[in-house]
Amino acid sequence: MDQDIERVLYSEQELASLCDSIAQSINNDYIGRDVVLVCMLKGSIMFYADLVRRINVRCILDFMAVSSYGSAAVSSGKINIKKDLSESIKGRDVIIVEDILDTGNTLYYIKDYLEKRDPASIRICTLFDKPSRRKKPITPDYTGEVIDDLFIVGYGLDYDERYRNLPYVGVLRPEIYR
Ligand code: XMP
Ligand code: MG
């Protein structure tokens, strides 16, 4: 599996320090509040698990799974909810935790979908952001790193469901896509 990776972009230590700084911002912003932290399955699992262990405000953990019709590497605008939240978010402060914000199609739809449930607030936290590919007007409130237009895998991120278990984030060798 490691042999499919052309280069490592973020090591385990670098990912841990990105989690430290995002968690510090969230902890400062939400002092005395009670937050619902929404994990967007499956890509966010590693980031989410590392982030929530660094959060020191009262919180509830909840999960959502969505799919978008498209190829393995590009999302489309059509979103299908495969698993919805199990807790109510009415009147609560919500943070959506994503692995990567790309075109914005997914989160633009999900934010609007959750806003109809009358939460007190909704913010977006993403480990990676690729603003150069944005198609929808959506800006994350918390970002680990802004990256170039590269397809990355590992630490939850997949190519065709593979590589999620890599402990680091890397770039695939180009021949893997073909
Ligand atoms: P949109 O375009 O809706 O897409 O913002 C967000 C989702 O697209 C996937 N995505 C990636 N997955 N490496 C991946 O493994 C990438 O470089 C990448 N870029 C986008 C991902 O599922 C994300 O939640
Ligand atoms: Mg994905």
Q: Using CA atoms in the order 49, 33, 108, 38, what is the torsion angle rounded to 10 degrees?
A: 30
Residue 42 lies in a domain: yes
Q: Is the pLDDT of residue 178 over 80?
A: no
Residue 154 lies in a domain: no
Q: Are the beta carbons of 100 and 74 closer than 8 angstroms?
A: no
- Residue 103 in contact with ligand 1 by CB distance below 6 A: yes
Residue 84 lies in a domain: yes
Tens-place pLDDT, residues 131-151: 999 999 999 999 999 999 999
Collapsed DSSP state (helix, strand, coil) of residue 129? strand
Which secondary structure element, helix H or strand E, spans residue 122, and what is its range? strand 121-129
Ligand 1 atom closest to Cα of residue 68: 3
What's the number of domains the chain is made of? 1
Give the whole-angstrom CA distance, residue 78 versus residue 24. Answer: 34
- Return the higher-pLDDT residue of 67 and 163: 163
CA 81 to chain centre: 16
Residue 40 token pair: 């967007």
- Residue 79 in contact with ligand 1 by CB distance below 6 A: no
Residue 166 lies in a domain: no
Collapsed DSSP state (helix, strand, coil) of residue 75? coil
Which secondary structure element, helix H or strand E, spans residue 6, and what is its range? strand 5-10
Residue 105 lies in a domain: yes
Give the whole-angstrom CA distance, residue 176 versus residue 178. Answer: 6
Ligand 1 atom closest to Cα of residue 103: 2
Residue 4 lies in a domain: no
Q: Which residue has the tokens 């990776």?
A: 5
Tens-place pLDDT, residues 106-129: 999 999 999 999 999 999 999 999
The domain in which residue 27 lies consists of 12-147
Burial of 77 (0-12, 13-18, 19+ CB in 10 A): middle
Q: Are the beta carbons of 56 and 29 closer than 8 angstroms?
A: no
- Residue 152 in contact with ligand 1 by CB distance below 6 A: yes
Tens-place pLDDT, residues 8-53: 999 999 999 999 999 999 999 999 999 999 999 999 999 999 999 9
| Average pLDDT over all residues of the chain | 94
Q: Are the beta carbons of 106 and 75 closer than 8 angstroms?
A: yes
pLDDT of residue 77: 66
- Assign 78 a pLDDT band (cuts: 50, 70, 90): confident
- Residue 143 in contact with ligand 1 by CB distance below 6 A: no
Residue 74 lies in a domain: yes
Local structure of residue 79 (DSSP, 8 states):
E
Which of 41, 46, 99, 155 for a ligand 1 pocket mutation test, highest count of atoms within 8 Å of Cβ? 99
Residue 171 lies in a domain: no
Q: The domain spanning residue 52 has which CATH number?
A: 3.40.50.2020
